[in-house]
Amino acid sequence: MSSASVREILSGRVAAGTAVTVQGWIKTRRDSKAGLSFLAVSDGSCQDNIQVVAPNTLDNYDTEVLKLTSGCAVRCSGKLVASQGKGQGMEIEGAKVEVVGWVDDPETYPIQPKPHTMEFLREVAHLRPRTNTFGAVARIRHTIAQAIHRYFHEREFFWVNTPIVTASDCEGAGQMFRVSTLDMLNLPRTDKGGIDWSKDFFGKEAYLTVSGQLAVEGYCLALSKVYTFGPTFRAENSNTTRHLAEFWMIEPEIAFADLNDDANLAEDFLKYIFNAVLNERGDDMKFIADRVEKSAITRLEKFISAPFERIDYTQAIDILKKAPKKFDYPVEWGNDLQTEHERYLAEEHIGRPVVVMNYPEQIKSFYMRLNDDEKTVAAMDVLAPGIGEIIGGSQREERLDYLDRRIQQFGLNPDSYQWYRDFRRYGTVPHAGFGLGFERLVVYVCGLTNIRDAIPYPRTPGHAEF
Ligand code: 4AD
């Protein structure tokens, strides 16, 4: 008797007639007058359930099988047979149904076999992976993550694990969570080693990172092609459908490269990821298209087939000024683009993904390379129809004197950036990179409307209960 996942069985990898065991959770139970119970069992390996047919001749039929409710954990063994039900593929004729875990109070079990609103499911984020939608989102998220690592690995990028605790504010925007200890971990208060433990564990103010970029630049300037992929944190008090306080970011960094190389990488990378999702998660994407967002598959197909448009920020402002619609936020050269502007450009005006390049220097970060016009920096945002900005990147300022000027202009403490200046002092080269918010990508792929549904346990202002 072999144990098989529901995915293995339903994808035809187990021959009819084989004795199999599946382990999973009951989705539904239906009893027939003929003395059979039909159990829909999910093990989360794929979108579909397997049907287990349990006859009333089982020893525990009355005492246990007839008491099974949604959510109970079971181990079912029997013979795999072609289902008699229409379009159902394979089912298991149950010779044995073992209850591994009961649901102690079926009445109050929040995940009932009926549609739930996303708002309700956010309240029970610890149980929502049991629903079809969140099962699909979790598997798609996994597939995207795997495809990201594969993409970079195949192109000889090295994955660098940058620190989560840091003393540098990468974006210089002051949105960092401070790290402190509750009781100094009972460390003896001592002057040994010159560290004043009573002040702070790290001997200086330390924060949760907002981006691994500055740290990964150091590895880029030694290994040429690198990327980070890890959690990042932002203490921005924006309770929106696009912001999380804790999110994952993918940040490639390439040496001997300019902004155009960066835009090429972003385009090739996004198309690879979307292709991988469509190829590897067909069943979940079909479910998403049927139940969450109708155009989920066609949107990705369109994205893959269209070459990205590239325009300058100045051109973008021109287009927006001439737009036949009124925006809530004013369109002025020097103002950052708002989501409504980004969506208009990508969706309505251009109709495909667009890379906006060369933004005014005063609205972008200190590390971006100043262009010859001294008014703009070599920054880019990739805007996608239906969501707006999905990627933000830039060519980095590799000239020490310019970098120093920017650090000063942004009012940053130069002492905190000595190590970062070293990269410009010792063998500096043009280099570029970008950051992609992992959850924004998941939102886009899964056609979600709220970023809180793209991460297992969302962290937002006022929410960290699980
Ligand atoms: O544009 P950002 O702030 O860029 C950086 O952090 C650079 N250091 C990246 C780089 O060049 N290596 O953030 C990058 C991306 C955004 O495009 C967005 O997708 C995502 O991170 N992001 C967020 N996602 C969820 N919640 C938030 N609060 C986010 N803030 C940014």
pLDDT at site 354: 97
| Helices 296-305 and 282-291, packing angle to 10 deg | 120
The pLDDT tens digits of the residues spanning 290-301 come to: 999 999 999 999
Q: Is 64 helix (H, G, I), strand (E, B) or coil?
A: coil
State yes or no: pLDDT of 87 exceeds 70: no
CA distances from 158 to 162, 225, 226 (A): 12, 6, 5
100 confidence band (pLDDT: 50, 70, 90): very high
pLDDT grade for 202, boundaries at 50, 70 and 90: confident
Instruction: Assign 348 to helix, strand or coil.
Output: helix
pLDDT (average), residues 100-109: 96
d(CA 214, CA 168): 8
Q: Which is more confident, 200 or 388?
A: 388
pLDDT score of 197 more than 50: no
Note the pLDDT tens digit of each residue in 154-179. Answer: 999 999 999 999 988 777 777 899 88
* CB-based contacts of 26, cutoff 8 Å, min separation 6: 39, 40, 41, 68, 69, 70, 71, 72, 73, 74
Q: How far apart are CA 121 and CA 458, in angstroms?
A: 12
For ligand 1, atom 31, name the residue with the nearest CA. Answer: 437
**pLDDT band with cut points at 50, 70 and 90 for residue 88:** low
Q: Which of 176, 177, 211, 219 to mutate to test the pocket of ligand 1 (most atoms within 8 A of CB)?
A: 211
% of the chain exceeding 70 in pLDDT: 94
Atom of ligand 1 nearest to the CA of 391: 17
How far is Cα 138 from Cα 272, in angstroms, rounded to an integer?
Answer: 19
Q: 132-173+210-453, which class in CATH?
A: alpha beta
pLDDT band at 199 (very low <50, low <70, confident <90, very high): low
Task: State the complex-level ipTM.
Answer: 0.99
pLDDT band for 132, please (50, 70, 90 cuts). Answer: very high
Mean pLDDT of 230-241: 90
| CB within 8 Å of 343: residues ≥ 6 apart | 383, 385, 386, 387, 388
pLDDT class of 194 with cuts at 50, 70, 90: very low
Q: Is the pLDDT of residue 439 over 90?
A: yes
Position 175 scores a pLDDT of 87
Largest interatomic CA distance in the chain: 85
pLDDT tens, residue by residue, 352-389: 999 999 999 999 999 999 999 999 999 999 999 888 89
Calculate mean pLDDT across residues 313-341.
Answer: 96
Alpha helix positions (H), 244-361 = 259-280, 282-291, 296-305, 313-321, 339-343
Q: Are 270 and 307 in contact (CB under 8 A)?
A: no
437 C-alpha to center of ligand 1: Å? 5
Can you tell me the mean pLDDT for 329-357?
Answer: 95
Q: How far apart are CA 304 and CA 61, in angstroms?
A: 52
Which atom of ligand 1 is found nearest the CA of 440? Answer: 19
Q: What is the per-residue pLDDT for 265?
A: 98
What pLDDT was estimated at residue 180? 73
Atom of ligand 1 nearest to the CA of 244: 26
- Find the mean pLDDT for residues 71-80: 97
Q: At what angle do helices 418-425 and 400-409 cross, to 10 degrees?
A: 160
Sequence spans of domains, the chain: 6-101, 132-173+210-453
- Bridge-partner residues for 115, per DSSP? none
Which residues does 67 contact at the CB level (< 8 Å), separation at least 6? none
Q: Rounded mean pLDDT of 9-24?
A: 94
Ligand 1 centroid–CA 444 distance in Å is 15
Answer whether residue 189 shows pLDDT above 80: no
Q: Token pair 């100094």 is at which residue? A: 184
Confidence of residue 198 (pLDDT cuts 50, 70, 90): very low
Residue 337 pLDDT greater than 60, yes or no: yes
Yes or no: is domain 6-101 CATH 3.40.50.300? Answer: no
Ligand 1: atom nearest CA of 236 is 28
Tens-digit pLDDT profile for residues 397-433: 999 999 999 999 999 888 889 999 999 999 999 999 9
Please tell me the distance between residue 435's alpha carbon and the centre of ligand 1 in angstroms. 6
236 pLDDT tier (thresholds 50, 70, 90) = confident
Mean pLDDT of 235-260: 94
Q: What pLDDT does residue 281 have?
A: 97
The pLDDT value recorded for residue 304 is 95
Of 12-26, 67-81, 171-185, the range with the lowest mean pLDDT is: 171-185
Q: Once rounded to an integer, what is the mean pLDDT over residues 317-331?
A: 95
Mean pLDDT, the chain, whole residue set? 92
Residues contacting ligand 1 via CB (< 6 Å): 170-171, 211, 213, 234, 236, 243-244, 247, 249, 251, 389-394, 433-437, 439-440, 451
Instruction: Enter the tokens of residue 334.
Output: 């020097």
